[in-house]
Amino acid sequence: MTARRIGILGGTFDPIHCGHLDLGQAAESALGLTGIIAIPSNIPPHRPQPVASSHHRFAMIALAIGGLAGWRISDLELRVGATSFTTGTLQHLHDRGFAATELFFLSGADAFAEIESWRDFPAILDRAHFAVVSRPGFPVSGLPGRLPGLAARMTGPSGAATRSTPSIFLIDAPTADVSATAIRLRSASGESIAGLVPPAVRQHIEQHALYSAASAGELGADAQRTPTAGRLHGQD
């Protein structure tokens, strides 16, 4: 039987965008993943509730990954109904029979730079491999210097097949320079979001006016929101 090598792509996905997909596909290619599970978080810690409902965020992910072989979506965190933390999600997957070395938690380099402040650090690093992908302005090459205590655990993707203990795989690949915050603000001001999200996601956002000017109250806090360490997937 083919060994399971499952990528875990989590986040608020408010909305899912091309940067998320680029990150997942880069890890999938570099590590030979057998599948990717997208897991939308329920309540992210230390920040307001998502603007779009869980229903719409789930629907947008389904639309975005519909044509990607081996990708699927899970409502694991939405059904739990509590604050979503990476450590709890990984433990839940262990309880379902996944070994730590079968799981690859996918993260952008900017988010992973905050790993020391995530819940259950450093134990969380033993619950899965971490696949860290470069983000615009934040290459993975800078991580050993930022996190010297973890440098010995970092390796290139070519070592994935032989690692018998959870490791940190650094993947240097291009990803779209886009954020969910920027998409929400552009939508609220009536600007185009073409090219920032998959076409089907753009249609869903426009059809349901998810981030229209009517949401200005919720969107007004976006400029004040800072990256949140410890949430399911530390990327916007």
Note the pLDDT tens digit of each residue in 94-134: 999 999 999 999 999 999 999 999 999 999 999 999 999 99
Give me the phi and psi of 21, to 5 degrees please: -65, -40
Burial (CB count <10 Å: 0-12, 13-18, 19+), residue 20: buried
The pTM (predicted TM-score) of the whole model is: 0.90
Indicate the burial class of 12 (C-beta count within 10 angstroms; 0-12, 13-18, 19 or more). Answer: buried
Q: Which residues are 104's β-sheet partners? A: 7, 129
Nearest CA among 8, 9, 14, 82 for reference residue 225: 14
Q: What is the tens place of the pLDDT at every residue in 52-99?
A: 999 999 999 999 999 999 999 999 999 887 788 999 999 999 999 999
Structural domains present in the chain? 6-177 (3.40.50.620)
Model pLDDT for residues 128-166, shown as the tens digit of each residue: 999 999 999 999 999 999 999 999 999 999 877 677 899
**What confidence score (pLDDT) does residue 164 get?**
84
Q: How confident is the model at residue 233 (pLDDT cuts 50, 70, 90)?
A: very low
Cβ count near 152 (within 10 Å): 10
C-beta atoms surrounding 103 within 10 Å: 23
